Amino acid sequence: MALWNSRFKKPLAESALRFSSSIDLDGKLFNEDIDGSIAHVKMLAKQKIISKTDSDIILKALKEIRNEITTGKYKLDWRLEDIHTAIEERLLEKIGEVAKRLHTARSRNDQVALDERLYMRNEITLTKELIIALQKSLLKQVEKNRNSIVPGYTHLQRAQPILFAHHLIAYIEMLENDKARLNDCFKRVNKSPLGAAAFAGSTINIDREYSAKLLGMDGIENNSIYAVSSRDAMIEFISSLSIVMMHLSRLSEELFLWNTQEFSFAQFDDTYATGSSLMPQKKNPDFAELIRGKVGRVYGSLIGLLTVMKALPLSYNRDMQEDKFHLLNAVETTQDCLQIAQELIDNTNFKKNRFDDELKGDLSLATDLVDYLVKKNAPYRKAHHIVGEFVALCIDRNIKLHEMNIKDYKKISNEFSNDIYKLFEPMTSIANKKSKGSTSPKEVQKQILFWKKKLFK
């Protein structure tokens, strides 16, 4: 029986009940719903709104129901409409009339808002743990490949040689900011809406701060209307997950570029690749591609929830039932992708010396020639123009920078001496970097030590 139908003469049509039932989604929040109910009952007893005896009976039964749902003894049926109804109906079956005291000074509006916040609180913590695990896997690859040289890119064109370790640390830093966003979001998630009731509060002498404290929350949402009608914290959470997914997509994109024959830099373990039903030679990076594809799910959840909320008048509206679909989808997708991304990183072999010979004298070292002239007091724009002429000449002759005769260099600028040939080793270019946070071995080592201390403390 629905919790609200006493003023109706007819029961809800089965098709309407099926259409409106949300238990397939909010059933996943049964633990949170029971946690909230336990705190609420304890508060009612403390305030002497219900007796200690009734409180103890309800609390014992709620814990039993948790176990029944966990073990599958109590099956959640769509006819029960939502998890709140399912638990209250089971409570009534177990303890009779005493169960009817549970919902005193509470509405499903503040109840579901609380369930969602408790769920988000737990999932923020779990998501951060998965991010840290991925960061650790990246750092292990950084240490394995700390001396590997790769071309760095802008516009997907070779730009300058860098340490591969420096490149991977960029992802560690991205993920660190993802954690910071989740930490900040946690502050807004961890406020209790319980006690806001339907939206206007209660005439009963409840203690909202006490129930919030029991739940380990950092106080209450002060405005009862905002408490039940806002999904701002949820939107922020899904937005943060969307940024996580964007970063995973960028990492995935590079992983399968590096796995191509053209790059020949990385190789996935066979346990994280698939073949072709037609072409027997294929080894496909499907799991990196799937991560990239699943980004759309999380972006869709963000836009979906924003669309649900964009024109709703205060306070609660049933449209908001759709929020759980978007929340659960975003959380489950992001966590699955974080887990697989970590496993991919752990099971990828990078060819340490792949670019060593290829980058010797490569045009990506042209910037070092510009800096060479600047250090000899040439104006930067003039130095840039001079080196540009050499680059054009090398392209015309199909040669590398170190293959150009010193006489040709001197024809364009007398500032060039034989010492320029030292610049055409990629590691020299890397080691010559002076700025903090650069790709020089010294700076990369500082970054490695920083992340080891931070992630493995």
Q: Which residues are catalytic?
A: 155, 276
CA 239 to chain centroid: 9
Residue 191 φ/ψ, nearest 5 degrees: -120, 135
Collapsing DSSP to helix, strand or coil, 149 comes out as strand
Contact indicator for 356, 362 with CB cutoff of 8 Å: no
Counting every residue written for the chain, the total comes to 457
User: What is the CA 363 to chain-centroid distance, rounded?
Assistant: 37
- How would you class 439 by CB atoms within 10 Å of its CB: exposed for 0-12, middle for 13-18, buried for 19 or more? buried
Q: Is 349 helix (H, G, I), strand (E, B) or coil?
A: strand
Q: Which residues of 349-388 are buried (b: 16+ CB within 10 A; e: fewer)?
A: ebeeebbbeebbbbbbbbbbbbbbbeeeebeeeebbebbe
Residue 89: which H helix or E strand, with range? Answer: helix 83-95
DSSP 3-state assignment of 282? coil
Measured in degrees and rounded to the nearest 5, phi and psi for residue 153 equal -125, 145
| Radius of gyration (C-alpha) of the chain in whole angstroms | 30
For residues 151 and 285, give the distance between their C-alpha atoms in angstroms, rounded to a whole number.
Answer: 22
- Are the CB atoms for 390 and 432 separated by under 8 Å? no
**Beta pairing partners, 149:** 163
H-helix or E-strand spanning residue 424: none
Residue 235: what residue type? Answer: I
**Amino acid sitting at position 400:** K
Determine the Cα–Cα distance for residues 434 and 436; give it in Å rounded to an integer. Answer: 7
Annotate 156-204 with DSSP letters as a single string.
TEEEEEEEHHHHHHHHHHHHHHHHHHHHHHHHHHSSB-TT-TTTT--SS
Residues 244 and 330 sit within 8 Å (Cβ to Cβ): no
